[in-house]
Amino acid sequence: MSRTITLHPDTLAALAPHAFGEFTVTVWEDGGYLAAWDHTVPGCACLVSVCPENMLNGPHAPAEFTPIGPWSYSGRFDIATAQECCDPGDWTSTATQDGHRTPHHALAAALDEHRARCYEFRQAITRCLNCTELKQWHGPQGSVFACEDFRPGEESGRRDWELRRKERGLYVPRD
């Protein structure tokens, strides 16, 4: 049985101004489905999934999905970039992933936890001591975009991270 699951138009309108990921649906053989939003983290390609309380749906659930809070998140390291991680797999802490009021609060918490756990991401937002460019923008040897020798300096501060998140429409004021 093949089903097409879409977001209810009211939900789509309510969530559109504050994108927090791509709506993804996994439909099972019996017609039930799992609904979530997936966000790929720039700089490392780890995956953050933001899920409503009603993410699991049976075969008789409506084809127009309307999420119900509270929200939760889960995360997976990107296998291709997880070489420095001792355990490339889930990075989510079960103690902090549940009970968020909005999907934006869940995503903000997930990105904070991801930042603390993902070595590859921290390297991507680390500035070079020679040219002050971020490592992710650092050119290869001989590049005109940055110096030839990347020397890791300090990780960008929390304030810089909040400003970049706000520019992308992901800013959530802290409670």
SS3 per-residue string spanning the chain: CCCCCEECHHHHHHHHHHCCCEEEEEECCCCCEEEEEEEECCCCCCEEEEEECCCEECCCCCCEECCCCCEEEEEECCHHHCCCCCCCCECCCCCCCCCECCHHHHHHHHHHHHHHHCHHHHHHCEEECCCCCEHHHCCCCCCCCCCCCCCEEEECCHHHHHHHHHHCCCCCCCC
Q: Is the pLDDT of residue 29 over 70?
A: yes
Does the residue 40 lie in any domain? yes
Whether 71 maps to a domain, the answer reads yes
| Domain encompassing residue 54 | 6-103
Q: Is the pLDDT at 93 greater than 90, yes or no? A: no
Asked whether residue 53 is domain-assigned, the answer is: yes
Planar angle of CA 83, 34, 173, nearest 5 degrees? 70
Indicate the range of 5-9, 30-34, 146-150 predicted with least confidence: 146-150
**Mean pLDDT computed over 81-103:** 67
Greatest mean pLDDT range, 12-16, 71-75, 90-94, 141-145? 71-75
Query: Would you say residue 88 has pLDDT above 60?
Result: no
pLDDT tens digits for 107-122? 888 888 888 778 777 7
Q: Which residue has the tokens 């889930």?
A: 90
Q: State residue 84's pLDDT score.
A: 53
Domain tally, the chain = 1
Backbone Cα Rg of the chain: 19
Which residue type is seen at 55? M
> Which structure tokens are listed for 65?
């999905």
The model's pLDDT over 151-172, given as tens digits with 9 standing for 90+, comes to 666 555 555 555 666 676 655 5
pLDDT for residue 175 is more than 50: no
pLDDT at position 58: 93
Tell me phi and psi for residue 93, to 5 degrees: -95, 125
pTM greater than 0.85: no
* Chain-centroid distance, C-alpha 173: 17
The whole-number pLDDT of residue 16 equals 67
pLDDT for residue 64: 92
Is the pLDDT assigned to residue 133 strictly greater than 80? no
132 domain-assigned: no
